[in-house]
Amino acid sequence: VAILPILGVGGMQLYRAETPGPVKDSKMTPRIADTAKHLWYIYLSLTTACTIAFWSVGMNWFDAICHAFSTIAIGGFSTYDASLGHFNSVGVNIVCVIFLWIAALNFSLHYGAASGRSLKGYFYDPELKAFFLIQFSLALACFVVLMHFSWFDDAGTAFDQALIQSVSISTTAGFATTEFSQWPAFLPIMLIFSSFIGGCAGSTGGGMKVIRVLLLYLQGKREVNRLIHPKAVYSVKLGDRALPDRVVEAVWGFFSAYAMIFVIIMVCLIATGMSDVTAFTATAATLNNLGPGLGDVAGTYADVSDAGKWLLILAMLFGRLEIFSLLVLFSPTFWRS
């Protein structure tokens, strides 16, 4: 985004294509190159802070740097097969949770806080409020169910595991501290479904993004109100701002394309011999850039067939590029233009 405009490639077009989320017309600075530079500074600062925090709770410098890269990027990779579970540390889990939350927020909020030296932007952002409502609800649900089934020996351990796993899965990081796929009742499938929401727009998280889910809810609410009061005029508002209909239409278009791609890939995986549960969660885990699934892919994808792996690679590309950026390559109009 910063370099290609120098070569004559439109910076704003690239910015819109690569910015996660439905609202793509706002820029943090007048010049795209400056926006990219500020994002780089923020990203570097967060990675450095995360590295120091991991080191302060017992990691060596190598592990701290590697896990900081993986946490801020919400990638979920670890230097150990047991992932974060290798450290068996409440401190490590807390640091990971805090920085996963930070990385899953819209980076324009971080820029606003850094440039204006004020935290007010965080408190007035409706997407952030929805994000933390979802996060706290998931953690609470996991904790209550784990306590009900006496899954862990004490409440402290249950809360620690409920928090780190709910945050890790819902932000699409995929860090593991325990085998969440073996958890009781509805928890495993609830956590997989939470990855469909993912992080906020303009973050490093995967999924459909909180703002899209929020707008789908607000649009559904508007349709119910229209049925009750057919002559009334309603608008979809995000905070105090009424959104243009083209943004809502774009969200519905994305959701439709997302559902279509999801169904096609899942059916193709079942055709390769994969079980229904494995195919569903493998598609969800790759399309949402999560990682772990349920069934045969709860731990590793090593047993997936070659054809299945190619399908999952395609799903990961669709998920990371937010569907339309990849779909346009299949359009004959694109190649003729």
* Amino acid 3: pLDDT: 55
Domain boundaries, the chain: 4-197
* Amino acid 7: pLDDT: 47
DSSP 271-332: HTT--HHHHHHHHHHHHTT----SGGGSS-STTS-HHHHHHHHHHHHHHHTTTHHHHGGG-H
* Amino acid 27: pLDDT: 54
- CA 316-14-328 angle, to 5 degrees, is 55
| H-state helical runs in 179-271 | 187-197, 210-228, 245-271
CA 94 – CA 162 distance, rounded (Å): 12
Query: What is the radius of gyration, based on Cα positions, of the chain?
Result: 21
User: Of 176, 256, 248, 169, which is closest to residue 205 (Cα–Cα)?
Assistant: 169
Give the pLDDT of the chain (337 residues) as one tens digit per residue.
555 555 444 444 444 555 555 554 555 555 667 777 888 899 999 999 999 999 999 999 999 999 999 999 999 899 999 999 999 999 999 999 999 999 999 888 888 888 877 788 888 889 899 999 999 999 999 999 999 999 999 999 999 999 999 999 999 999 999 999 999 989 999 999 999 999 998 888 989 999 889 989 999 999 999 899 988 888 888 877 888 888 888 888 889 999 999 999 999 999 999 999 999 999 999 999 998 999 999 888 999 999 999 999 999 999 888 887 777 777 777 677 5
* Residue 94: alpha-carbon gap to chain centroid: 19
* Amino acid 98: pLDDT: 97
Structure tokens at 182: 């073996």
* Amino acid 10: pLDDT: 46
Beta bridge partners of 237: 242
SS3 29: coil
Report residue 241: phi and psi, to 5°: -105, 125
* Amino acid 235: pLDDT: 84
